[in-house]
């Protein structure tokens, strides 16, 4: 754009033309990648027909939802999604806070950083690699657990990939393994930011380490813990597809305990080609997820205005 001085202030479009143009690629992408699919949610109310397309397919009202909620599926996937998320949020938070406090007490800065980096490593690995790691431990014929650990304990081999009752524990452990290090980085940064004067004063008064943690560290950490937890609760209707689909090797025998909304939507769409069912479950997830985000943000706002998203 030609810059002529003095600027013609009235003509914002002219003055900011280049800046407005710069935003076009990003905005166009959001339009295609985010807004068109939001609009595309209308297929949940249609009988999708590939030839007729998204707009041309016939409306069927709530029929897709009737099918979805008539079966046990809706109940199972909702229950699994919510219960897993609660377990993940609780355990990840407890572990991350505990580890962060411990790391902060370690005198050697080098070792403290070293532990932190090592604990963060699993966060960087794709779920496909995680499924290989899980397979090397759980494989029926050659797994480390069946071949080395269980014989030591005198327990029979277990067919991990076909017995659904073990998976709530397996998935929770993996989620912890992969996620706690990440949260720990956030909490440790918050602990390091606490004013050392509090601790100095407490030490002068003869407070033990344990008392200091209970009466200084945890209370000062609680705003960020509550904020992170509420943000996680806002996402409680969503789960990590890779964890629930890849790690159990897509095994249908485990559906009872590994099927969550995300895997249900995927299976209905890609394996069964049942677009009605898939989109109905997807819309259900989007709407409830949206309401939960709004509610959790409302709660964050009540609690601490500056931490709220909006």
Site for other proteins in 226-255 (CB under 8 A): 228, 241-242, 246, 249-250
Can you tell me the distance from the alpha carbon of 136 to that of 167, in angstroms, rounded to the nearest whole number?
Answer: 16
From 73-81, 162-170, 215-223, 278-286, give the range in contact with other proteins by CB under 8 A.
278-286
What is the rounded CA–CA span in Å between residue 305 and residue 296? 13
Task: Give 184's Cβ-side CA count (13 Å radius).
Answer: 29
Does 273 sit near other proteins (CB under 8 A)? no
Residue number, 25 or 61, with CB nearest to other proteins: 25
Please give the residues from 55 up to 84 whose contact with other proteins meets the rule CB under 8 A. Answer: none
Q: How far is the CB of 87 from other proteins (least distance, A)?
A: 18
Task: Tell me the DSSP string of 167-218.
Answer: HHHHHHHHHHHHHHHHHHHHHHHHHHTS-HHHHHHHHHTT--HHHHIIIIIH
Query: Measured from the CB of residue 18, what is the shortest distance to other proteins in angstroms?
Result: 4
CB of residue 83 to other proteins, shortest distance in Å: 21
Give strand pairing partners of 226: none
Q: Which long-range contacts (CB under 8 A, 24 or more apart) does 48-54 make?
A: 48/275, 48/276, 48/279
Residue 27 binds to other proteins (criterion: CB under 8 A):
yes
What is the rounded CA–CA span in Å between residue 32 and residue 163? Answer: 42
Site string for other proteins, 129-168 (x = CB under 8 A): x-xxx-xxx-x-xxxx-xxx--------------------
Q: Residues 68, 77, 127, 300: which binds other proteins (CB under 8 A)?
A: 127
Stretch that binds other proteins, among 31-39, 78-86, 158-166, 215-223 (CB under 8 A): 31-39
Helix (H, G, I), strand (E, B) or coil at 12: helix
CB atoms within 10 A of CB 299: 16
Instruction: Show contacts with other proteins in window 169-208 (CB under 8 A).
Output: 177, 181-182, 185-186, 189, 196, 199-200, 203
Interface residue with other proteins among 39, 86, 169, 298 (CB under 8 A) is: 39
Residues contacting residue 277 through CB under 8 Å, at least 6 positions apart: 64, 67, 68, 268
> Does 282 interact with other proteins (rule: CB under 8 A)?
yes
């Amino acid at each position: 754009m030609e810059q002529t001085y003095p600027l013609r202030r009235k003509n914002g479009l002219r003055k900011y033309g280049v800046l407005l143009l710069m935003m076009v690629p990003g905005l166009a992408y959001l339009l295609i990648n985010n807004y068109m699919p939001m609009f595309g949610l209308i297929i949940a109310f249609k009988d999708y027909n590939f030839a007729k397309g998204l707009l041309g397919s016939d409306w069927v009202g709530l029929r897709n939802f009737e099918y979805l909620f008539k079966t046990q599926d809706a109940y199972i996937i909702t229950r699994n999604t919510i219960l897993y998320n609660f377990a993940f949020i609780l355990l990840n938070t407890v572990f991350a806070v505990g580890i962060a406090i411990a790391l902060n007490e370690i005198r050697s800065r080098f070792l403290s950083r070293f532990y932190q980096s090592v604990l963060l490593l699993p966060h960087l690995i794709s779920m496909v690699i995680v499924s290989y790691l899980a397979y090397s431990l759980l494989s029926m014929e050659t797994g480390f657990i069946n071949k080395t650990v269980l014989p030591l304990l005198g327990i029979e081999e277990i067919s991990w990939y076909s017995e659904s009752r073990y998976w709530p524990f397996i998935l929770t452990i993996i989620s912890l393994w992969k996620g706690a290090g990440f949260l720990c980085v956030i909490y440790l940064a918050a602990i390091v930011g606490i004013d050392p004067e509090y601790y100095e004063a407490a030490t002068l008064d003869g407070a033990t380490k344990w008392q200091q943690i209970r009466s200084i560290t945890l209370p000062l950490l609680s705003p960020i813990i509550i904020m992170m937890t509420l943000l996680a609760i806002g996402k409680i209707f969503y789960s990590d597809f890779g964890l629930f689909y890849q790690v159990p090797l897509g095994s249908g025998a485990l559906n009872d305990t590994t099927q969550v909304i995300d895997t249900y939507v995927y299976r209905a769409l890609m394996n069964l080609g049942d677009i009605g069912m898939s989109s109905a479950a997807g819309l259900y997830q989007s709407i409830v997820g949206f309401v939960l985000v709004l509610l959790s943000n409302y709660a964050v706002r009540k609690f601490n205005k500056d931490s709220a998203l909006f």
